Structure 1
Amino acid sequence: MLDEQKQHEFEKRVDMLALSLALKPNDKNFDQNDDYKLLISTYIKMLEQDQDDFFIDRNSKQNIIRSLERTKEYFDFAEENQLRASLEKLVNDDPTDFMLFPMVVPLSEDINVYQHLIGFVVYKKEHDFIVMTVDKMTNYYDDNVVYQIIPKQRIKELSTLFFEERYDFKLEKFYLLECLTKLSTHTEPIEEIMMNDQTVGNCVIASLDASLKVILSNCRENIFSVDREDLSISWNPYHNRSTLEMRKRFLTAVKGENPEWNQLFDYIFDFYLYRVGKLPENREDSPIKSKTWYKVIRNMFAMDYYIQEIIANGGKIQPNHGPHPNSVYLIEPKGVLLKKEIQNVPSSRLDSQFGWIEKQIQRFKERLLFIKIDRAKAITQHIICSLEEKKEEINQENERRRVITEPVIDEGKIKPSLNQLIQQTIPVSSNHSTEQSKKQVKNELEK
């Protein structure tokens, strides 16, 4: 039982890290109460490990940690009045005292359509409540951050809404947001706060990351003030690469005492470093901020079955000589390309796939230089070999087509191509069978 728990914890930590780095979509349902408790606990550990006031000054840090602990308790509440009591205890006009709620907001009434998650932060101000909505995708509002004032007299309705929607959200488009609007007396966007769009379906973590960044920024500078001209939303406004530094610190907080687990966490993080241009160093030719480049890295991450292998083995690194799977994700079986028999793929698509494979080979070779784990190196080399084989298969198909379509020069005489011979040999009105036609063509070629 203990081993199963450890295995589950390891898988969740891997999933959480990959989602936080936008290396994959939420395809393993990282959205349960225990998942959010793990994420909030990781934020807490990250803040506790902050010894140089990178995120916030040490005088505010303990209050913020207490607020995050209170948020964790929310996921264990069995009754609405427990949540209401927590909201009532919020300190007036204190940016370090808050509750953070990850809430599903349906974008459609079809359960099969992607459902979005938004971060909601609740403060107390002048005895009323401020509910701040943080949404990187701006599906409902035109701005990433909007706040609403909810009168204190409506606290029971507010707590009931957040309690019930956490456990059984209504499959009604924008239901939660529209309920908050009905409860509020004032709604105001904070137009100065602008965020990058999500590039993959990882809102389960991206929305909470964004919410925490706004929370910490509000502790440095009042984001609700009238004068917001110079408002700065950042993990650290004095650090040139504050997001990269935050990711490094989050990685450290994800790690524990198991060295093999930690090796895999570092291995996953290297994909992120490669994406942002840090592996290899001084990589100037990559469009590292384009959505296409993000997709390239996600494809590489999905193809790298070393990650799945170590997850399947509970975090234990396998011997270097272990067997490889018969197929690699995104590399189709022999004779197949773009889900068709390769002979039926248009030449233009052959060429584009050839270019894609060449670039993938180059990228995996670049990654190979920085891989420290022998088994991971062997797997990367196997992926490169598989890509090389598919590339050669495309070459052979192109050559086959060239032979069919190009005329042959023999002793200074130009002989017609195979296609031309077929057209010459078979009149339009002919009733010859295909086999007879082939024999005629063969005889012509042998002359």
Structure 2
Amino acid sequence: MNDYELRYEILAITLGMKKNDKIFAVTADLKKSYLILFSAYQKMIEQDTNAFFVDKEQKEKIIASLKNTLDFYEATNRESIKQLLEKLENNHPTSFFMLPLDYLINDSLDAIHTSGIIVYKRDEAYTLMMVDKNRFDPVNYITIAKDDLDSLSHYLFHSNKVHPFDKDLYGELNEFVFLSKEKKLSPLNIKMNKQFIGNCVFSEIEATLKTALFNCKINLFEHHPSQTTISPKWGSIFSFHSTLEMRRRFLTALKTNNTEFNKTLDYLFETYYLNRKNYAKKIKWKRDEKFINRLSNKNDPLSKLKYFMLRPFFQIEGQSKWIHYKIENAKKFRADPKTKIDFTSIQQKLEKSTPTDQIENLTFLHSRYSFTNER
């Protein structure tokens, strides 16, 4: 695939509109895809003028760490990896590099999974923070002694150069754990949403970047198990719709100087957003209708308790009219809770349509909906 095709593929997979069906097939495409991905992440941070991702004081160091990530992926020998490890700052969360770890999880050749790794230097040793949304404990870490620097450099280089098909089950993951002081993964007190779509090749790396940036704000290694489980997020901890905002910025960073191609990416993103937005509305109305129906059912325990639970609510003048309004609108906007967005159908339509068709459709979307400038 050429550069444009890869960028289109990266965006579609990141948005969950398709699975990892082509990227893993060719080693060259996999490597080029990660280079494009990490370059887009670096550009995204560079374009951050309002401290959405990181504090202004940390911005340059984060950009340098993403440059380290690109250097890691372009390394041609083990010595280059060793130099990257040696120049990491000790006990500094903004000093790191990331890598995707692709490996087989069973004997089937289509059972490849991707986890993300963040490499830090802590207490004069190397800490590998592993991010995998498929695990019960999505974020774990291991510690590798400085004396094992040569072995660590070797396995990191091997993970970068050898395709998962040519490795044993779990590949370098086993080697890293065996090399560690703990001899097992140590979980951190962190939770994440599970990955339900087969797009781990990019979604796990997105989660890894989010974790790395969040660790610059809150020290995740010191978040004790007795404390409330924490979920890394984009922006400040009080940001709303932060994932959508991040993906808007990622879309901008993926664009090139080709205006017509950029419109194709816009169309893909608008299709994703429009479907997600409408689906969320349907589910909300369905929940409203279900709750109201329970209140109306005399045999439902909730109905018998409603006057105690909602007494202040019903005492407010005009609320009965509001309840009637909600019931009537809920009936009009019925939605099957099992309904899902048919992303496969969307992708087929996108593949069949020409760039001209997509631009015309995008123009229609812009004329009908005003969500493109929302924040």
**TM-score normalised by L of structure 2:** 0.75
How has the CA–CA distance of structure 1 residues 13 and 122 changed in structure 2, closer, same or farther, with 3 Å as cutoff?
A: same
The answer (yes or no) to whether the contact 2:18–2:199 under 8 Å persists in 1 is: yes
Counterparts of 1:167 and 1:368, CA distance in 2? 40
Q: What is the Cα deviation at residue 66 of structure 1?
A: 0.7
Bigger relative CO (Cα 8 Å, ≥ 6 apart):
2
- Of 104, 111, 115, 1:114 maps to 111
**For 1:184-223, what aligned pairs fall within 5 Å after superposition?**
184-186=180-182, 187=184, 189-223=186-220
- 2:147 maps to which residue? 153
Q: What is the Cα deviation at residue 24 of structure 1?
A: 0.2
- 2:356 maps to which residue? 317
- Of 59, 79, 82, 1:81 maps to 79
Q: What is the Cα deviation at residue 278 of structure 1?
A: 5.3
Counterparts of 2:173 and 2:357, CA distance in 1? 48
Give SS of 1:220's match.
coil
Structure 1 or 2, whichever has the larger Rg, is 1
**For 1:193-272, what aligned pairs fall within 5 Å after superposition?**
193-227=190-224, 229-230=227-228, 231-236=230-235, 237-272=237-272
- 1:91 maps to which residue? 89
Q: Which runs of 5+ in 2 are unaligned?
A: 288-335, 368-375
Q: What is the Cα deviation at residue 130 of structure 1?
A: 0.3
Q: What is the Cα deviation at residue 70 of structure 1?
A: 1.1
How has the CA–CA distance of structure 1 residues 297 and 84 changed in structure 2, closer, same or farther, with 3 Å as cutoff?
A: same
How has the CA–CA distance of structure 1 residues 52 and 174 changed in structure 2, closer, same or farther, with 3 Å as cutoff?
A: same
**TM-score normalised by L of structure 1:** 0.63
Give SS of 1:57's match.
coil
Structure 2 counterpart of 1:176, which letter? E
Structure 2 counterpart of 1:24, which letter? K
Residues 222-253 of structure 1: per-residue CA shift (max 9 Å, x gap):
00015362534111212111111111111111
Structure 2 counterpart of 1:234, which letter? K
Identical columns (%):
31
The answer (yes or no) to whether the contact 1:277–1:283 under 8 Å persists in 2 is: no
Residues 159-199 of structure 1: per-residue CA shift (max 9 Å, x gap):
11111122124532223222112111135544531122222
**For 1:278-289, what aligned pairs fall within 5 Å after superposition?**
284-285=284-285
- 1:52 maps to which residue? 50
How has the CA–CA distance of structure 1 residues 319 and 73 changed in structure 2, closer, same or farther, with 3 Å as cutoff?
A: closer
Counterparts of 2:359 and 2:238, CA distance in 1? 44
Counterparts of 2:337 and 2:142, CA distance in 1? 33
Counterparts of 2:262 and 2:59, CA distance in 1? 27
How has the CA–CA distance of structure 1 residues 300 and 123 changed in structure 2, closer, same or farther, with 3 Å as cutoff?
A: same
Residues 396-437 of structure 1: per-residue CA shift (max 9 Å, x gap):
xxxxxxxxxxxxxxxxxxxxxxxxxxxxxxxxxxxxxxxxxx
Structure 1 counterpart of 2:356, which letter? I
**For 1:134-145, what aligned pairs fall within 5 Å after superposition?**
134-138=131-135, 142-145=136-139
How has the CA–CA distance of structure 1 residues 153 and 368 changed in structure 2, closer, same or farther, with 3 Å as cutoff?
A: closer
The answer (yes or no) to whether the contact 2:90–2:123 under 8 Å persists in 1 is: yes
Q: What is the Cα deviation at residue 94 of structure 1?
A: 0.6
Give SS of 2:114's match.
strand
Give SS of 1:54's match.
coil
Structure 2 counterpart of 1:302, which letter? Q
RMSD: 3.0
How has the CA–CA distance of structure 1 residues 209 and 226 changed in structure 2, closer, same or farther, with 3 Å as cutoff?
A: closer
